[in-house]
């Protein structure tokens, strides 16, 4: 019998209390996501993840492309996602943000 891999897409939503997205809020969202969803995965598990945000008006914007990373390298997502946010933040600096979403 072949080993089967289970692929499961989820939308993990992290509430932003002050409507500001910065490196600290992305780090807190990623840390919480890791503790709640990633920690029990196998060490070499490959994770595909997309960084999105939801405005207070309900608009959802994708900030990153789909990123594939091993669980062991999860810590590098902070720099990857923060750099993506900085690149896009000029477009979105007028909006107030309610959630960070990882898909």
57-87: b (≥16 Cβ within 10 Å) or e:
eeeeeebbeeeebebeebeebeebbbebbee
Domain count, the chain: 1
Please report whether residue 41 resides in a domain.
yes
What integer pLDDT is reported at residue 2 of this predicted model?
Answer: 43
Give the pLDDT confidence of 71-98 residue by residue, as tens digits: 999 999 999 999 999 998 777 777 889 9
Please report whether residue 24 resides in a domain.
yes
Please report whether residue 3 resides in a domain.
no
Please report whether residue 74 resides in a domain.
yes
Please report whether residue 87 resides in a domain.
yes
pLDDT band at 6 (very low <50, low <70, confident <90, very high): low
Give the pLDDT confidence of 31-76 residue by residue, as tens digits: 999 999 999 999 889 999 999 999 999 999 999 999 999 999 999 9
Please report whether residue 5 resides in a domain.
no
- CATH number for the domain spanning 72: value is 3.30.1490
Q: What angle do CA 75, 81, 86 make, to 5 degrees?
A: 140
**Is the model's pLDDT at 4 over the cut of 50?**
no
Q: How far is 18 from 4, CA to CA, in rounded Å? A: 42
Domain limits for position 32: 12-102
């Amino acid at each position: 019998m072949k080993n089967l891999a289970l692929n499961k897409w989820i939308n993990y939503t992290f509430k932003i209390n002050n409507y500001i997205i910065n490196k600290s809020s992305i780090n807190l969202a990623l840390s919480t996501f890791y503790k709640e969803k990633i920690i029990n995965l196998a060490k070499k598990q490959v994770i595909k993840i997309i960084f999105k945000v939801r405005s207070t008006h309900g608009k959802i914007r994708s900030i990153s492309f789909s990123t594939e990373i091993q669980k062991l390298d999860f810590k590098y997502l902070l720099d990857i996602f923060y750099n993506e946010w900085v690149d896009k933040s000029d477009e979105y600096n007028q909006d107030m943000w309610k959630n960070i979403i990882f898909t």
